[in-house]
């Protein structure tokens, strides 16, 4: 059972420097189980223990399903299953979706964990094979890809705020050093009537852009700035984590939008809006 997961993932050893993973610790696994309210089925648990949530092993290029990247997704989808599928969903641990609102879940099995497809329209549960068979296909597909080195990949996010003025944002950034903001320039007005402006923002040695969006029915504008750092930076050195912790404590109508681990050419490093996006969801826990 879990040996099959280990064997499959061991096939990635020759390209381990090109497949980004962030294995979960035992404490993180237990915390996720507590959050969802269900033990993680053995095959999925071994996968998380060796791959983690922040990874680029699995995408729609290699799999028809996208594995959840945020702890709150598992909890929310577990609640969805219980609400709409009742007792039939009792053993099901949600772990992915198909991009169309349908959930893929895992249940413990005799020889391997079983996969179930939960159709959100028909409310029908269908067994669709085993977790290990699915993982085998994913690894087969990855091994055929021309991948970039992890050292060339960036963790890309957007810090987003709902505040009246940018001053509270700057006050948080100034805890980490000087954060001067330059003059505002009107960028454009969207067809929907949203007025967009931007101003240069220095954060340490990084030249960034603070963006402002205003709409006549909003009580206050929306501010945001994009940020990236090497995907391989150690957790204790991650400025994204440090900023996130500080902004969460400050409030500010704050949300962290996670674009995921992306390969970025040097010329695109300061503006990744044109890059293919991972699902833009709040980054919650378990880095």
Domain that includes residue 35, residue range: 2-143
The whole-number pLDDT of residue 266 equals 52
- Domain harbouring 95, CATH code: 3.40.1580.10
The whole-number pLDDT of residue 29 equals 96
**How does pLDDT run across 87-123, given as a tens digit for each residue?**
999 999 999 998 888 999 999 998 899 999 999 999 9
Does one domain contain both 245 and 168?
A: yes
Nearest to 225 by CA among 250, 249, 193, 257: 257
Does one domain contain both 187 and 204?
A: yes
What contacts 24+ positions apart, CB below 8 Å, involve 198-203?
A: 199/166, 201/225, 202/178, 203/173, 203/176, 203/177, 203/179, 203/227
**Quick one: pLDDT band at residue 62, thresholds 50, 70, 90?**
low
**Quick one: pLDDT band at residue 274, thresholds 50, 70, 90?**
very low
The whole-number pLDDT of residue 283 equals 35
Domain end marker among 143, 170, 189 = 143
Domain end marker among 143, 174, 192 = 143
**How does pLDDT run across 247-263, given as a tens digit for each residue?**
999 989 999 988 888 88
Domain contains 287: no
Does one domain contain both 139 and 154?
A: no
Q: Which two tokens stand for residue 285?
A: 């826990």
Does one domain contain both 104 and 186?
A: no
Nearest to 226 by CA among 148, 284, 156, 280: 156
Does one domain contain both 15 and 135?
A: yes
Does one domain contain both 207 and 128?
A: no
Average confidence (pLDDT) over 184-188? 94
Does one domain contain both 112 and 68?
A: yes
């Amino acid at each position: 059972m879990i040996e099959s997961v280990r064997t499959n993932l061991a096939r990635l050893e020759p390209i381990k420097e090109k497949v980004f993973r962030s294995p979960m610790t035992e404490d993180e696994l237990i915390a996720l189980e507590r959050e969802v309210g269900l033990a993680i089925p053995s095959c999925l648990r071994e996968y998380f223990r060796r791959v983690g949530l922040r990874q680029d092993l699995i995408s729609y290029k290699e799999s028809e399903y996208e594995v959840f990247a945020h702890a709150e997704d598992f909890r929310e989808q577990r609640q969805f299953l219980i609400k709409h599928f009742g007792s039939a969903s009792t053993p099901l641990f949600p772990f992915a979706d198909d991009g169309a609102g349908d959930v893929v879940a895992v249940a413990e099995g005799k020889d391997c964990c079983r996969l179930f497809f939960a159709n959100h329209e028909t409310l029908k549960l269908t067994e669709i094979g085993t977790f290990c068979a699915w993982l085998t296909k994913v690894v087969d597909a990855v091994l055929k890809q021309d991948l970039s080195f992890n050292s060339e990949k960036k963790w890309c996010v957007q810090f987003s705020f709902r505040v009246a003025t940018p001053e509270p944002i700057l006050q948080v950034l100034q805890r980490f050093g000087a954060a001067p903001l330059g003059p505002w320039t009107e960028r454009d007005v969207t067809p929907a009537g949203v007025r967009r402006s931007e101003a240069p923002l220095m954060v340490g040695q990084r030249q960034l852009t603070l963006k402002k969006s205003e709409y006549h029915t909003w009580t206050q504008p929306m501010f945001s700035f994009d940020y990236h750092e090497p995907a391989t930076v150690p957790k204790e050195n991650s400025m994204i984590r440090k900023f996130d912790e500080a902004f969460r404590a400050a409030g500010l109508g704050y949300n962290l939008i996670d674009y995921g681990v992306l390969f970025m050419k040097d010329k695109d490093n300061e503006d990744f809006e044109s890059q293919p996006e991972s699902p833009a969801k709040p980054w919650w826990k378990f880095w």
